[in-house]
Amino acid sequence: MTLLELAQRVAAQAGPGEAVEAFASHSVTSSVTVFRGDVEKLSSAETRGVGVRVVVDGRLGFASTADLSDGGLRFALGEARANAGYTSSDVGNVLPAPAPYEPLDGISVPALREVPMGDKVARALELERRTLGTDPRIASVPAASYGDAWGEVAIASSTGVAAAYDSTTCYVTVYALARQGEETQTGLGFSDGRGWQDVDLAAAAGEAAARATRLLDSRKPATARVPVVFDPMVTAQFLGVLADAVSAESVQKGRSLLAGRVGEAVLGQGLSLIDDGRLLDGPGAAPVDDEGVPTGRTVLVDAGELRGYLHNTETATRVGGSSTGNASRGGYGSTPGVAPTNLFLDGSALPVDDLLRRADGGLYVQEVKGVHSGVNPVSGEVSVGATGLWIRDGALGEPVREVTVSSTLLDMLRGVTALADDRRFFPFGGSLAGATLLVGEMTVAGS
C-alpha cells in the first residue's frame, strides 16, 4: 500500500455531515558529526505517522498517531471526531477543495538514498580536515557534519484532495573555532542542495574559517549612530521575523505589525518581498502545501508597497479569499499553520563591493544574538546584541563585539537603502533567503 492509499483509506471513513483529512508522512534521514578525526555521532532513522483532521458543523478535531495499524488509525480517527465535539465553530474550519497541481521535477534526487554510510562519514571527516587546514588560527572544529533526508508526504481528504510527492535534501555544516591569545571566535559555514553532488565542502570550510578568523582582535566600541549593513545570514534571520508578520494567521490574531497596512510603503528602495514555492533554488520547494493546495508565487511587497499576506485555507476562507498554498505543519503531529515556502527580497541589486562603498564608516553586522528575545514581532521594537566589523574604504575592517543595535522593525525595513546581488537561501528554521543589505543609519550602543 502506498502512503497515499493509506491516507485515502482513512479519509474514506468519513461519515455523513463530516469531512475527514489524513496527512501521512514517511521519512528516512541520516547524519554524521565528526570531531578530531573520529565519528562523534551517527544517526539513521525511519519514521512514519498520520495526522487526522475531522470537521463537523464548522468544528475541528485533531489527533495523530505513529501507530499505522488498522487499530491505530481507527483510534486516531475516533479521537479526532470526539475532539471536534468540544471545539468552537468557525467559518475557517473547512478542508480545501481539490485543485490540480503540477509535479515539481528536481526536488528529489533518488540516487541520494543509495550512498553508503561509509561515504558520508568520509565526507564529514574531509570537511573537518579542510576547515582545520584553512588558517593556522583555526584551533579546533567543534562540529563538522554531513546530513541527508528523503521524505514523502501524502494528503487525502473526503473533499477529494489526493496529493503526494517526495523530496530529498543533502547538506554539510561546520563550526570553526579561531583562537588568538585568550580570545576565541566561532564561525559557521554550510553548503546544501538536493543531491550528493550539490554540496561544496571547500566553500563550507572556507566560509566557517573566514567568519571565525575575521572577528579576532575585536573591541567594544563607543556608542555611535552609523550606517548598518547586514550580512546575508543576518538578513535571513530578520526575514524570519518578517515571515511571521506577513502570515495571515498573525494578522488575523492581531499579532502582526503589518496588520492593516496593505497599500502602505513598508520596504525601502522599491524592494519587493516574494514567496515562491516552486522556486527550485529554495530548500522549501514543493508542488503542494501541507493540506494539498498547489504552491505558487505570492508577491507580498511590490516595489516597497505591502500587497497582502500568506494564507492557508483557514485564514483565506475567513476573509473570503483563496489559499496562497502556504499551509505548513511541524509534522504529522500538528495541524496546519501558515509559513512561507521560499521567502526572498527582490529588486534592483548591487555588487557587494558597491554596497559596502556606500556604507563607509558603518558597521557590518555578521552575527546577531537574541533575535528571538530582542525583536518584538508585535510592537516591532528591535534591540539585539551584535558582532561584526567596521566598514573602511569599501571593505571589511577591524572587528567589534558586544554592541547592541536598536530600532523598530518598520523603521529598519523602510530605511533599507541597498540590496546586494548575493542572494542565498538558508535552510535553518524555514527557507529564507539572505543577501547583503544596507539598512541605513542605526544607533550602535557600545560602552
Partner 1 sequence: MLDESDVRATLAAALASGGDWAEVYAERRDSTGIRIDDRRVEELSSGHDQGAGVRVVKDAQAMYAYTNVLTHDALLEAARAAAAGLSGAQRATVADLTRAEPPTRHPVRLAPDDVDKARKIEVTRRCEEAAWAAGGDVRQVTASYADVSTRAFVANSLGHLSDETQVRTRLVVHVVAARDGLMQTGFEGPGASKGFEHFDEIDPATVGRTAAERALRLLDSDPSPAGEMTVVLNAGGGGVLFHEACGHGLEADALAKETSVYAPTRGQQVGSELLTGVDDATLPNGWGSFAFDGEGTPAQRTVLFDRGVQVGEMSDRISAGELGTAPTGNGRRQSYAHLPQPRMTNSLILPGGETREAILRSVARGLYADGLAGGEVNPATGDFVFGVTEAYLIEDGELTRRVRGANLIGNGPHVLRLVDAVGDDLATKQGMCGKGGQWVPAGFGTPTLRIARLTVGGTA
Please, which of residues 224-253 interact with partner 1 by CB under 8 A? 253
Nearer to partner 1, 11 or 34 (CB): 34
Minimum distance, C-beta of residue 84 to partner 1, in the bound complex (Å): 8
Site membership for partner 1, residue 223 (CB under 8 A): yes
**Grid coordinates belonging to 115:** 550512498
Where do the H-state alpha helices sit in 260-380?
313-318, 352-357, 371-374
C-alpha to C-alpha distance for 426 and 424, rounded to whole angstroms: 7
One-letter amino acid for residue 268 of the chain: G
Phi-psi region of 37 (alpha: psi -120 to 50; beta: other; left: phi over 0): left
Q: Pick from 62, 171, 390, 425 the residue near partner 1 by CB under 8 A.
A: 62
Q: Does 58 bind partner 1 (CB under 8 A)?
A: no
* Cα 225 to Cα 231: distance, rounded to the nearest angstrom: 18
> C-alpha distances in angstroms, 414 versus 271, 304, 436?
10, 8, 16
Residues of span 374-403 touching partner 1 by CB under 8 A = 374, 376, 378-379, 381-385, 387, 401-402
Cβ proximity to partner 1, 17 vs 447, nearer residue? 447
Site string for partner 1, 19-48 (x = CB under 8 A): ----------------x--xxxxxxxxxxx
CA-based end-to-end distance of the chain: 65
Torsion sign across C-alpha atoms 90, 93, 97, 100: positive
2's grid cell? 502506498
Q: Are 326 and 341 in contact (CB under 8 A)?
A: yes
Quickly list H helices, 266-323.
313-318
**Is residue 184 at the binding interface for partner 1, with CB under 8 A as the rule?**
yes
- # of chain residues touching partner 1 (CB under 8 A): 72
Beta strands per DSSP E along 57-157: 59-65, 138-157
Between 80 and 391, name the residue whose CB sits nearer to partner 1.
80
Count the neighbouring beta carbons within 10 Å of the beta carbon of residue 429: 11
> Any contact of residue 180 with partner 1 (CB under 8 A)?
no
Closest CB to partner 1 among residues 184, 322? 184
Contact between 176 and partner 1 by CB under 8 A: the answer reads no
Stretch that binds partner 1, among 3-11, 100-108, 127-135, 371-379 (CB under 8 A): 371-379
Q: Which of 96-104, 178-186, 283-291, 321-329 is the region at the interface with partner 1 (rule: CB under 8 A)?
A: 178-186
Nearer to partner 1, 214 or 278 (CB): 214
- Out of 203, 321, 373, 424, which residue is the one contacting partner 1 (CB under 8 A)? 373
Site string for partner 1, 188-217 (x = CB under 8 A): ------------------------------
What cell numbers appear for 205 in the block?
570550510
| Angle, alpha carbons 319-322-326 (nearest 5°) | 105
Of 407, 128, 361, 388, the residue nearest 233 (C-alpha): 388
60 contributes a contact to partner 1 by CB under 8 A: yes
In angstroms, give the least distance from the CB of 24 to partner 1: 13
Read off the C-alpha cell for 89: 465553530
Least Å distance between CB 124 and partner 1?
12
- Which residue's CB is nearer to partner 1, number 84 or number 243? 84
Query: Of 64 and 298, which has the nearer Cβ to partner 1?
Result: 64
303 binds partner 1 (CB under 8 A): no
Determine if 424 is a binding residue for partner 1 (CB under 8 A): no
When binding is defined by CB under 8 A, the residue of 335, 342, 366, 436 that contacts partner 1 is: 335
Stretch that binds partner 1, among 122-130, 333-341, 357-365, 432-440 (CB under 8 A): 333-341
Q: Applying CB under 8 A, does 111 fall inside the site for partner 1?
A: no
**How far apart are CB 67 and partner 1 at their closest, in Å?**
7
Locate the DSSP E strands across 158-313.
Answer: 162-180, 183-193, 224-230, 272-276, 297-302, 305-306
Instruction: Determine if 61 is a binding residue for partner 1 (CB under 8 A).
Output: yes
Kindly tell me which of 113 and 253 has the beta carbon lying closer to partner 1. Answer: 253
Closest by Cα among 155, 8, 174, 26 to 95 = 155
As measured in angstroms, the least distance from the Cβ of 173 to partner 1 is 11
Per CB under 8 A, 261 contacts partner 1: no
Torsion on CA atoms 332, 338, 342, 348, rounded to nearest 10: -170
255 binds partner 1 (CB under 8 A): yes
Smallest distance, partner 1 to C-beta of residue 424, A: 21
The torsion angles phi and psi of 134, rounded to 5 degrees, stand at -70, -35
**Per CB under 8 A, does 67 bind partner 1?**
yes
Torsion sign, CA atoms 380, 386, 388, 392: positive
